[in-house]
Homo-oligomer: A and B are copies of this chain.
Amino acid sequence: MEKLKSVEKLTDAFSKLPGVGHKSAEKMAYSVLDMSDEDVELFSSALKDAKRKVHKCPECGILTENDICEICSDKGRHKDRIIVVSYPKDVLGFEKLATYDGVYHVLGGTLSAVNGVGVDDLAIVSLLERIKRDNVKEVILATNPTIDGETTALYIAKLLESTDVEVSRLAYGLPMGGHLEYADSLTLSKALEGRKKI
């Protein structure tokens, strides 16, 4: 049977998406043929629009469609308190709490010898500049509780050692609602180490 080159190209494009194998990509490509011309047009421009409109906030690195993101441009938020995260999506969890009134700083990853991510690949210099410029009083390091996340947090903490900035790291311990029997030994030892008097 005739090879449909345009469908193959579309299949290739779909298969570059996360979690999409060749079979699913092919199914998706064929489903596009059944869409209305209008829907395909909308889909096609939605791709280009998202790529064109969304960029990192030049202040903090959060994804935004504005010049400066809504958090950085919010006058009600304290510029002298920064939560440092690795990725834009990590901000979401804190914002859902709706209790934090400071700002954020997105590093854009974690230091990693294995993946070849060095200090210059992360937004560390701009963090230091912000700290100085905005007279930041508190930095909360919220990189992931992994070896790389830990390394990154320790590196930044060391850079700020000689300053007056209060540097903290998120607490480690048992996740709420979890069961003790399922806790891995590293988490358990961290929970024991960080035990608090009640």
Q: Does A5 contact B (CB under 8 A)?
A: yes
Of all chain B residues, which has the CB nearest A51? B40
Q: Which of B9, B52, B54 contacts A4 (CB 8 A)?
A: B54
Residues in chain B near residue A45, CB distance under 8 A: 44
Contact B27 A66 (CB under 8 A): no
Of all chain B residues, which has the CB nearest A56? B33
Count this chain's copies in the assembly. 2
Contact A32 B10 (CB under 8 A): no
- Among A57-65, A129-137, A168-176, A190-198, the one that faces the other chain is A57-65
Contact B10 A64 (CB under 8 A): no
Residues in chain B near residue A69, CB distance under 8 A: 2
Q: For the complex, would chain A's binding face be called helix, strand, loop or mixed by DSSP majority?
A: helix
Contact A71 B2 (CB under 8 A): yes
| A42-B28 contact given A1-B71, A1-B95, CB 8 Å threshold | no
Residues in A17-42 with C-beta less than 8 Å from chain B? 17-20, 24, 27-33, 35, 37, 39-42
Q: Does A179 contact B (CB under 8 A)?
A: no
Residues in chain B near residue A92, CB distance under 8 A: 1
Q: Does A166 contact B (CB under 8 A)?
A: no
Contact A53 B17 (CB under 8 A): no
Contact B31 A18 (CB under 8 A): yes
Contact A6 B53 (CB under 8 A): yes
Contact B41 A44 (CB under 8 A): no
Q: Does A70 contact B (CB under 8 A)?
A: yes
What are 17 inter-chain pairs, A to B, with CB distance below 8 A?
A: A1-B70, A1-B71, A2-B62, A2-B64, A2-B70, A4-B53, A6-B46, A6-B54, A7-B63, A10-B49, A12-B46, A13-B42, A13-B46, A16-B39, A18-B28, A32-B50, A44-B47
Q: With A18-B27, A30-B89 given, name 11 new contacts (CB 8 A).
A: A4-B64, A4-B65, A7-B63, A13-B42, A14-B17, A33-B63, A37-B51, A40-B48, A40-B51, A41-B48, A43-B47
